[in-house]
Structure formats: structure tokens, C-alpha cells
């Protein structure tokens, strides 16, 4: 049976707020022909369903025949979008600019050229103030067309100004396009592979980045050039696990918005993601106090009108706050408090099901498993790790690897000796195939293989040897990936010092505050 995740019309209707549904009804009922009445009936039937079921839809709308359903659904989909466009135009600068262009074209086609030029001036003013250069290019293109084809009584120097402005905008758009392409391709690499796995990955990423990024930061001009320039450096640094560089460019991006507050409203999505990246950088650096301050900024922003104007912003702000709170518990070792967030998080994710991408779900499942592992609830951790392991391994190969390693460690903690040996072999093969083995992982596999069947009293000296092997690797950039995904040092220390893993991590947190 199709569900709400496969039928696009059903998804759209379920995403509507009460005010949007009410507006649609008023909008559509202005028409009185039979087809319009039928799509209202179809809308009502779909709105009342919990899951999409075509047979049930036809049963609840006897006036609609099966052969009509596909066309009516297509028509309803377009009408809902038209209704939303009408309702949301004043809330969105891109929609306002599009409306101005539509009006100018309509006036021009009617022969009212001077009126069209007046609308174009309004559009140019709005596009400039919001730095919407792509829209400005379209506006100037229409203006040039009118000035070229007709005598408009415009000053003669206007042609020269238009031509110069068009060239400047063309160059700016080209630079923004190149930088946004670089950002996109780096992000794509990370989603597929995660962090750089070895020197070969590092070499490839560095060569690609250097061949596509402007060599001089001072040459980068304008909000959007700087936005994508900083974003590209963020991904470049994050992939290479240069967390200090990652922090610096995440902070530069937020400073860019703080210097031009209007752009927070214009590019809200980029601002929210920027705060999320800054929080991730502070998490990786274990900068506890600054992390808490930035989290407070994000939580405060979540209460603003801007953050709640659209579902997309509201949902992603909530998701990033939840992710940050989980990270806070992971880096402080307060696993017992962290697991208390899980039920509420699961309920929110259920509510946000339409809006949350698969990559985000994989990350949340791994983070939840880590909370349970740290809280010694290994069976629960296995539940979430199995979700990752049994999913399609077409993204975040690194998480696929570490989910299997953590899965193996859960069985080790549970004393499931009968399956440990076969698990060690299968996980090792998987990580080797994915080119995901570091010195740290090799040491862990060797330790698990050699100790899973020895007596508890002989274990402690073996843990001490393992700690000696891996402790010094925490600062090695190609080894930090293992520590970023799983605080293996704290786990080993908990065995050596006979303390809970959470206590070990929390003591480190307290020590960092007194430095």
C-alpha cells in the first residue's frame, strides 16, 4: 500500500497548516465548475487520511471515478501551489521579485511600456537591497529588452549604465556559481564518505579544492560570494578534520550575517545551517562554554517569527537544537540525562517525517546508540545500530563502518562470546573494503580478538596495554576520526580505572573548565 512518503499530493496536503488549508478553500471555491468542486472533495478526503490509500479515497469520494483520479490529483496539486503562492508572496522576497517580473511582463505585453519600467525599478530596488543578484539579472534583461525595442524617453546615459551593470552582474553570478558548485561537491563527498580516510583522500580533496577556490580571500566580494566561500572552506576543513579551521570559517559565516542583519531574513536556511556547523565545530574542539553560548543563540532564534515563518526553517531549527543537545551530553559524559531526550526526539522526528532527510535519520540513530552505549544499555544501543546496518549503505560509509564497530563492542560488553569471533571477522572485512581502517581500529580489533575469551582478572592489564597504544594518537589528524565517532579512549580508561565511561568523560569536562 502506498504511504504518505510516496504520494506527493498527500505529502503536500499533510504539510499544510490550518491557515493554509482555510486559504485554499476560499481560493478554490471562487470557481463553481464541477471539476473544482470535485477537487475540494478530494482535498477533504485526503486531508482526513492518516496514510494514503487510493481505494479508501475513491470510497470516500463516490462522485470521482477511478479514471478521473490521476487528472484530478494533478489539478489539485497545481491549485494548492497557486493558493500558497498567493498567500505567501508578501512573506518571501524571491516570490515578491517573481511577482514584480510577472507584472512587468504582463504590462509590457499589453503595450504599457512605461508602467512596466516603473515596476522594474521597484524590482531592481528590492533585488539590490536583498542582494538577489540572479533576480536582478532577470530584471535588467527585461529592462534592456524594452529599452532596445522601444523609444521610452529614458536618458541617453541609461543605456551605458545598463550595459555596465549587466556585465558586473554577469561576472558576479559566474563567481557565485563557481563557489556554490564547489560547496555542493564537497558536501556531496562528505555525505557519501564522511571524513577523509587516509592520505590519498586528503591529497584528492586538497587538489580539487585548491583548483576551484579563489586564491585570495580579499578578492571575494559581496554577500553571496563570501557565503559560499566560507561554506566551501567549512566543508574542506571538516572533511580533513582540521577542526580549528572548521571553527574559524563557521564563525566567519555567522559574522557575515551579523554584519548584515537583513540577510538573516533573506537567507534564513543558510543562517540556521551556519549555526549548526558552528556548534559542530565547537563540539569537535570540545569548547564547552562557547558551545553552550551558541546553543542559546540558536534556541533563542527558534522562538523568532523568522524561524517559524516556514515549516522548513522551523523543522530544521528544531532538528539542529536536538542534535546539539545530544552532542552536549556526549561530550560531557552525561549519558543518563541524554537518554531522557530520546523519546521526545523520536516523537518530533515522527512529526517531521515529511521534512527530514535519510542522512539525518542515520546520524540520529548513531548518536542515540552512542548515548545508550555510554549509559551501559547495550541492548538498546544494538536496536538503533541494527537500523543503520540493515539500511542501504549508499551514504555515509564512515557511519556504516562505525555502526558495525560499535555493534561489535556492544556484543563484547554483553559477553556474547559465541558470536564475537565471527563478528570481528565480518566487521574487519567491511571496514577494510571501505578503506576505513586506521591504526586505532586495527588495535581495537586485535584487542577484541585476543581478549574475548580470557578471564576477567586478566583483562585489566590488556586494557592498560591498549590504552598505551592508542592514547598518544588522539592528536593525530588521520586517527581523530575514530575518536570523533566513538570516544574509544574514554571507554578503555573506564576499564582501566574501574569507573563508568560517563564519569571518565565528565571528569575531563570538569578539568577543562578549571584550566
Name the nearest CA neighbour of 503 among 376, 385, 382: 376
Tell me the pTM: 0.84
Q: Do 238 and 278 contact (CB within 8 A), yes or no? A: no
Rounded-to-integer distance, Cα 59 and Cα 296, Å: 50
Rounded-to-integer distance, Cα 278 and Cα 280, Å: 5
DSSP-assigned letter for residue 55: H
Rounded-to-integer distance, Cα 324 and Cα 301, Å: 14
DSSP-assigned letter for residue 339: G
Rounded-to-integer distance, Cα 353 and Cα 346, Å: 10
What local confidence, expressed as pLDDT, does residue 503 receive?
Answer: 95
Write out pLDDT tens, residues 464-514: 999 998 888 776 666 666 677 788 899 999 999 999 999 999 999 998 876
Instruction: For residue 161, give the C-alpha cell.
Output: 549604465
Residue tagged 590519498 (cell numbers):
200
What local confidence, expressed as pLDDT, does residue 1 receive?
Answer: 32
Rounded-to-integer distance, Cα 477 and Cα 330, Å: 21
Write out pLDDT tens, residues 286-339: 999 999 999 999 999 999 999 998 888 999 999 999 999 999 999 999 999 999
What local confidence, expressed as pLDDT, does residue 157 receive?
Answer: 72
Mean pLDDT by 10 residues, the chain (515 residues): 65 92 87 70 92 92 91 93 89 90 93 92 92 91 86 68 87 93 93 81 92 89 95 95 95 97 94 97 93 97 94 92 95 95 89 80 92 96 93 74 92 91 90 79 88 82 91 71 79 93 93 72
Q: Do 462 and 450 contact (CB within 8 A), yes or no? A: yes
DSSP-assigned letter for residue 306: T
DSSP-assigned letter for residue 152: -
Residue tagged 557575515 (cell numbers):
256
Amino acid at each position: 500500500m502506498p504511504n504518505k512518503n510516496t504520494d506527493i499530493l498527500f505529502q503536500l496536503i499533510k504539510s499544510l497548516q490550518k491557515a493554509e488549508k482555510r486559504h485554499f478553500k476560499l481560493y478554490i471555491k471562487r470557481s463553481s465548475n464541477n471539476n473544482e468542486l470535485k477537487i475540494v472533495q478530494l482535498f477533504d478526503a485526503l486531508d482526513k487520511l492518516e496514510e494514503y490509500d487510493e481505494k479508501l479515497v475513491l470510497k470516500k469520494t463516490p462522485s470521482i471515478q477511478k479514471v478521473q483520479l490521476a487528472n484530478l490529483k494533478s489539478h489539485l496539486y497545481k491549485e494548492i501551489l497557486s493558493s500558497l503562492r498567493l498567500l505567501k508572496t508578501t512573506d518571501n522576497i524571491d516570490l515578491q521579485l517573481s511577482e514584480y517580473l510577472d507584472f512587468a511582463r504582463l504590462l509590457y505585453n499589453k503595450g504599457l511600456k512605461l508602467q512596466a519600467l516603473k515596476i522594474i525599478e521597484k524590482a531592481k530596488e528590492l533585488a539590490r537591497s536583498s542582494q538577489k543578484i540572479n533576480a536582478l539579472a532577470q530584471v535588467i534583461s527585461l529592462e534592456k529588452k524594452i529599452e532596445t525595442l522601444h523609444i521610452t524617453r529614458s536618458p541617453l546615459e541609461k543605456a551605458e549604465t545598463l550595459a555596465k551593470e549587466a556585465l558586473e552582474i554577469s561576472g558576479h553570478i559566474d563567481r557565485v556559481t563557481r563557489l556554490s558548485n564547489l560547496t555542493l561537491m564537497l558536501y556531496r563527498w562528505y555525505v557519501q564518505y564522511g571524513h577523509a580516510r587516509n592520505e590519498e583522500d586528503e591529497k584528492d580533496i586538497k587538489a580539487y579544492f585548491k583548483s576551484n577556490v579563489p586564491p585570495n580571500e580579499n578578492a571575494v566580494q559581496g554577500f553571496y560570494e563570501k557565503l559560499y566561500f566560507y561554506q566551501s572552506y567549512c566543508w574542506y576543513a571538516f572533511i580533513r578534520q582540521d577542526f580549528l579551521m572548521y571553527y574559524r570559517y563557521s564563525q566567519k559565516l555567522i559574522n557575515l550575517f551579523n554584519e548584515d542583519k537583513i540577510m538573516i531574513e533573506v537567507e534564513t536556511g543558510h543562517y540556521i545551517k551556519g549555526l549548526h556547523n558552528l556548534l559542530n565545530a565547537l563540539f569537535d574542539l570540545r569548547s564547552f562554554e562557547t558551545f553552550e553560548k551558541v546553543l542559546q543563540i540558536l534556541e533563542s532564534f527558534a522562538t523568532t517569527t523568522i524561524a517559524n515563518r516556514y515549516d522548513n526553517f522551523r523543522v530544521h531549527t528544531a532538528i539542529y537544537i536536538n542534535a546539539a543537545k545530544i552532542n552536549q551530553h556526549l561530550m560531557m559524559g552525561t549519558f543518563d540525562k541524554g537518554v531522557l531526550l530520546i523519546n521526545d526526539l523520536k516523537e518530533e522526528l515522527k512529526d517531521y517525517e515529511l521534512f527530514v532527510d535519510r542522512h539525518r535519520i542515520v546520524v540520529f540513530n548513531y548518536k542515540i546508540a552512542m548515548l545508550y552505549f555510554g549509559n551501559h544499555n547495550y541492548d538498546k544501543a544494538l536496536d538503533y545500530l541494527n537500523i543503520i546496518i540493515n539500511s542501504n549503505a549508499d551514504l555515509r560509509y564512515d557511519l556504516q563502518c562505525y555502526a558495525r564497530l560499535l555493534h561489535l563492542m556492544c556484543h563484547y560488553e554483553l559477553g556474547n562470546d559465541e558470536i564475537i569471533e565471527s563478528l570481528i571477522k565480518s566487521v574487519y572485512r567491511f571496514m577494510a573494503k571501505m578503506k576505513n581502517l586506521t591504526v586505532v581500529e586495527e588495535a581495537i580489533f586485535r584487542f577484541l580478538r585476543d581478549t574475548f575469551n580470557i578471564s576477567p582478572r586478566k583483562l585489566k592489564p590488556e586494557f592498560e596495554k591498549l590504552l598505551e597504544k592508542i592514547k598518544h594518537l588522539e592528536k593525530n589528524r588521520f586517527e581523530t576520526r575514530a575518536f570523533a565517532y566513538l570516544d574509544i579512549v574514554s571507554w578503555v580508561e573506564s576499564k582501566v580505572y574501574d569507573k563508568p565511561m560517563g564519569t571518565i568523560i565528565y571528569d575531563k569536562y570538569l578539568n577543562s573548565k578549571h584550566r
